[in-house]
Amino acid sequence: QVQLVESGGGSVQTGGSLRLSCVSSGRGFGFNRLAWFRQVAGKEREGLAAIYTGSVRIVYADSVKGRFFASQDNAKNAVYLQINNLQPEDTGTYYCAAALPPFRGAWSSADEYAYWGQGTQVTVSS
């Protein structure tokens, strides 16, 4: 099926930047929807951005527009999430998730994704 491995998390100070990576293996990278989610303890996973790898269409949650930038590298079967001007409220575990077509529901719903990476922790200190 699909295997996902995230990397790039870490501890940064407010105002810093990070680039998260997610490498996909298994079923065809070019036809999937890959998304980034964030989870904070006690809360549901929040959809941040998604990339339709076949069309290179990228969508964002309103809450992250202008600071979060998603991209893909087809040669590496990878998607990335560049996070700028990090704030303490960005702290959480960031997950990469994959959905195979057909895509039926909202891209930001965690229920739409059958495949998940292990997560990478981002901690922002003030």
pLDDT number for residue 47: 98
Q: Can you tell me which residue has the tokens 């990397």?
A: 7
pLDDT tens, per residue, the chain with 126 residues? 889 999 999 999 999 999 999 999 887 677 789 999 999 989 999 999 999 988 879 999 999 999 999 999 989 999 999 999 999 999 999 999 999 889 989 999 999 999 999 999 999 999
Q: How far apart are CA 74 and CA 104, in angstroms?
A: 24
Which pLDDT belongs to residue 55? 82
> What CA–CA distance (Å, rounded) separates 34 from 25?
12
What would the two tokens of residue 50 be? 């998604």
| β-pair partners for 24 | 4
Instruction: Determine the Cα–Cα distance for residues 54 and 65; give it in Å rounded to an integer.
Output: 22
Decide: residue 98, CB within 10 A, 0-12 exposed, 13-18 middle, 19+ buried.
Answer: buried
Q: Are 124 and 13 in contact (CB under 8 A)?
A: yes
Question: In terms of Cα–Cα distance, which of 60, 71, 75, 56 is closest to 20?
Answer: 71
Determine the pLDDT at residue 35. Answer: 97
